[in-house]
Amino acid sequence: MSAADHDLEAMSARVRAREVDLREANETLDAIRNGEVDAVVVGGPQGQVVFTLQNADRPYRVLVEQMREGAVTLNAQGMILYCNQSFAELIGRRSEDIVGERLFDFVKEGEELRRMLAGSGREGASSEFRLALAPGGFAEVNLSVVDMIVEEDADHMLCVIVTDLRQNRERAREISEANQRLAAEVADRNRAEQSLAIALDAADMGSWELDLENDTSIRSPRHDAIFGYPRPQQAWSQQRGVAHYLPEDRQAVADAIADAATSGRIDIERRIQRASDGAIRWVQLKGRTFYRDGRAVRIAGIIVDNTERRLIDEALRQGQKMEAIGQLTGGIAHDFNNLLMIIGGSLESLSRRVQLDDRVQRLLDTARLGVARGAKLNEQLLAFARRQDMREEVVCVTDLLPTFETLLDRAIGEAVKVNVRRAADLWFCRTDPHQLETAILNLAINARDAMNDRGTLVLSTENRAVAGEQAAANNAAAGDYVVVSVADTGGGMAPEIAARVFEPFFTTKAEGKGTGLGLSQVYGFARQSGGFVELESAVGRGTTVSIYLPRADPADANTTASGAVATPRQGSGKVLLVEDDADVRSTTGAMLEELGYEVVETGSAHEALTALARGAQIDLVFTDVIMASGQNGIELARDIRSLRPDLPVLLTSGYTAQRLVPTAMNGDLPLLRKPYTLAQLAESLGDLVRPGRANAASTTAGSRTEHT
């Protein structure tokens, strides 16, 4: 055997010996880990050293292996002498591959770890590091180090506990995000509650929450203010809340709250007596019930003072009622006018054609007077229905007061004192002075009767700006108004009487003392003028009626006055009479003949147009405005204008004509109001009929033709 072979053999023997030693060391280490040995004998230069492992340490070794945290034992140079299974799993390598490595090599911040280990001392140290993982990447960990003192002269050893911070950080992040979401939700809820509070306050509503278990409540300041408390009250039980309601309403409110526990909702409107001033107010409670474990625990909702809304609703219902009555009254007045037209026209024709003795003449004059009184009564009906003709002018009522004073002095007698209060710089308004005079006269007569012919009557004027709430309550437009008021010192009226005074034919006077149309005329006149009427009255305090007339531009004022009606005068020409009522048509035809006109009678617009289309020689068309079927008089006039532009048209009506005529045919259609006299008819026809102007053929006066 050569020397080289001898050396190789010796080296192989030493390697085998070291492998045996390493195997024994690993087996010993495993035995120590598992607690299978009580002592370890280690040989060295000074001989064998025995390390004793007490049986009491075995549970601790098992505990270290079962820890979720990593546990590492180091020597003074940072070499890993031991690691538990948790640390190995965290790194991603086997324990036997880790032992013998330096811990610094596993930590990204190696130098910082070195300094921490060097300065740890007996008190230990702790810090966060990034631990390199076998699969790649890093794990955030906390390393806590403490000295392990086995024997005084033994080698320096360290124990390191490794805590994985990733899960903690993830949980912390999740908790932080959850807190942020919760904070955002709380902020949103606070904003929603603030917005709700602002909305409720703007809507004049209060909020409340009743705890059914403790009989306590949480309320907004507006809630308590509705009940008449300027400052929030401390205690407010269910019994105290119910006590604010009128005695006759308390049981209904208590029952509604009790029913809400089962029905889940409450919605009731009842009356309270406000604590601050004793005023009776209508309030509405609305809310819903909340349950816990199937048991009602609280009711939350809102409260609103509905008093003003109820007043407006009542005013609207009254206005609708008056409008319906007005429509009915207007229809009656229309028919009544036709009857008066028949009677009055017949009486005039009779008086001109028959020789009468004095007694018969007196009877005839009495009949004519009855027609005139009927016409006056009908004007009042039409005034209430807002369908009488208005001759509006822009005037200053102050200029009319002297006339009104004279009128009042004559109408109410000397026993009643009249005071007139004139407003300085009174605005102009647009109204019919004669209708206003009639309205004031009606109010003065009612005031005189209410004072039993003695007392004080005050006629006053003022400028007043009407806001939206007052305007809405009277179904009128907000703006500037001239107010004319008549006040008395009479006994006043109860509310149920005051609510009906504008109804036609309603009167509190004895039978035969009044028609019940005076205040109806005032109401209709004011509405047709674009204004409204307000009445204030209380038993023992008298009554004030105020007429509101819209303000007008003084530049539109004029001094036009109507002329007197001329006496009957004879005429000539052919008149096409269009009237759907046969009796009125017959009477009117007779009156036209009496005046010397030739008459062609038709019962509808269609018949009239047919007659014109056939070439009838006509000098004037005299037509009623309102007809039962087909076209009305305005529409007929339009067709005639397109067919015969030079043919004059005279309209007649006792109903609605004023609103139709001014806007039709550019306002150039003349109107004769029913019932009219023979003289009035003659005056209107004389201004329009020019025989031969519209026809080449001559006409023969005094005959009548019925067109079919």
Closest CA relative to residue 284, chosen from 208, 391, 189: 208
Q: Give the up-direction half-sphere exposure of residue 28: CA atoms within 13 A in the CB hemisphere.
A: 13
The class (CATH top level) of 393-556 is: alpha beta
* Top-ranked range on mean pLDDT: pick from 123-137, 241-255, 432-446, 450-464: 241-255
- Note whether 552 and 428 are within 8 A (CB): yes
pLDDT tens-place string over residues 53-102: 444 455 556 677 777 888 998 888 888 888 898 899 888 988 888 888 88
Helix (H) or strand (E) holding 692: none
Supply the pLDDT for residue 666. Answer: 46
- Note whether 254 and 241 are within 8 A (CB): no
Distance CA 290, CA 292 (A): 7
Token match 């596993």: residue?
106
Confidence of residue 699 (pLDDT cuts 50, 70, 90): very low
Supply the pLDDT for residue 13. Answer: 77
**pLDDT above 60 for 562:** no
**pLDDT above 70 for 590:** yes
Question: What is the arithmetic mean of pLDDT over 556-576?
Answer: 64
Residue 224 structure tokens: 């308590």
pLDDT tens-place string over residues 127-141: 889 998 988 888 888
- Note whether 128 and 142 are within 8 A (CB): yes
| DSSP labels, 474-515 | TT---EEEEEEEEEE-S----HHHHTTTTSTT---SPTTS--
Confidence of residue 668 (pLDDT cuts 50, 70, 90): low
Determine the CATH number of domain 203-305.
Answer: 3.30.450.20
Question: Cα(first)–Cα(last) distance of the chain, in Å?
Answer: 163
Count of residues for the chain? Answer: 708
Percent above pLDDT 90 for the chain: 16
Supply the pLDDT for residue 547. Answer: 93
- Note whether 652 and 676 are within 8 A (CB): yes
**pLDDT above 70 for 44:** no
**pLDDT above 70 for 390:** no
Mean pLDDT for the chain overall: 79
Supply the pLDDT for residue 363. Answer: 73
Question: What is the arithmetic mean of pLDDT over 304-312?
Answer: 84
Residue 195 structure tokens: 């917005």
Domain boundaries, the chain: 1-66, 203-305, 310-383, 393-556, 574-706
Distance CA 259, CA 452 (A): 55
Spatial CB neighbours of 281, under 8 Å, sequence gap ≥ 6: 226, 271, 272, 273, 274, 305, 307
Determine the CATH number of domain 574-706.
Answer: 3.40.50.2300
CA 179 → CA 129, 172, 184, 185, 508, distances in Å?
27, 10, 8, 10, 76
**pLDDT above 80 for 263:** yes
**pLDDT above 70 for 182:** yes
**To the nearest 10°, the Cα dihedral for 677, 679, 682, 683?**
-110
Higher confidence at residue 209 or residue 655?
A: 209
Q: Do 393-556 and 574-706 agree at the fold level? A: no
Please state the pTM of the whole predicted model.
0.39
Strand 598-602 to strand 704-706: parallel, antiparallel, or no bridges (unpaired)? parallel
